Amino acid sequence: MIVVTGGAGFIGSCILAKLNERGREDLIVVDEVAAGDGKAENLKSKRYRSYEDKEEFLKKVLSDSIDPSVDTVIHMGACSATMGFDEAYYQKNNFEYTRDVARWCLRHDVRFIYASSASTYGDGLQGYSDDEAMLGRYRPLNFYGESKHKFDLWALEQGVLDRIVGLKFFNVYGPNEYHKGDMRSVVNKAYPRVVSEGRISLFKSYHPDYADGEQKRDFIYVKDAVDMTLFFLDHSDLSGIYNIGTGRARSWNDVAAALFSALGRPLRIDYVEMPPYLRPRYQYFTEAPMEKIRSVGYDRPFTTLEDGVFEYVCSYLNQKTFW
């Protein structure tokens, strides 16, 4: 049986969708779903054995009373807000929770696959290598990134990276992110205005090497991110930390162009001021080296930005449907 924490969230619910497509229903969904927060919609079409509140699940972890038939935990649950300022909350919710679940999995020889983040790489001056030997060089720019980085370092220091899998997700976009508020992808956030007004707003650049809208990210369609995650479910002999991206950075202008093209609209961009609090924490470039995951056998092609945005718009956003 498989536990998916954060199973009502964005990537977690997409993992459930893919597992259901494979015929898997022996699933325990762990999350925190509140009335009106939108996450319940992500679960409506999913098939699973049971749902558990995240705090109740943690109590079972700490009391060692998890169903003994669980053989895998895919841990996607976390607060992913990059601009939160409650350091103690990130410490408890992201680092300590992950550590406690990992310890239980390690004690019981349960497969543990967890979500790390490209936010751990900070400003990128030290690169984006998923070589574990490089972990100590990185300096995240926010509490979210720090909480993820802290667990990566804990796993390294405990000498357990040869028994677990950490996935550094880059900029994931796609269906099932409707509930994420400000943490939604730009495609999702901009879609209503492009439809109603035919315009999009992007941040101006404050870096001399990047023109307005030419700040770059490694954008990965959620279906590719799910395929890479489940690759490690299928290959239980693999362990360590791996980037989950495409290996090709694209600009925000490219994202806008793909969105307008999918909607058949002429491109119109307004460049707006970046909030002052964000400027010192802003990543101008991210790109995932993908050699490591390729070297262990993942050989599927990545969805192009244009194709991913087109499918997202035409198959999901236009109908507000879910995967």
Q: Which residues are catalytic?
A: 144, 180
Cβ atoms 142, 165 nearer than 8 A: no
Query: How many other CB atoms are found less than 10 A from the CB of residue 117?
Result: 24
Tell me the C-alpha to C-alpha distance, in Å, between residue 64 and each of 15, 170, 276.
Answer: 26, 33, 46
Cβ atoms 27, 1 nearer than 8 A: yes
Cβ atoms 99, 160 nearer than 8 A: no
Cβ atoms 114, 149 nearer than 8 A: no
Residue ranges with strand state E in the chain? 2-5, 27-31, 50-53, 72-75, 111-117, 165-169, 171-173, 200-203, 216-217, 219-221, 240-244, 250-251, 269-272
Residue 285, helix vs strand vs coil: strand
Residue 66, helix vs strand vs coil: coil
Cβ atoms 168, 228 nearer than 8 A: no
How far, in Å, CA of 152 to CA of 303, rounded?
28
Single-letter residue type at 134: M
How far, in Å, CA of 238 to CA of 236, rounded?
5
20-42 burial, b for 16+ CB within 10 Å, e for fewer? beeebeebbbbbebeeeeebebb
Q: Which two tokens stand for residue 221?
A: 């369609």
Single-letter residue type at 187: V
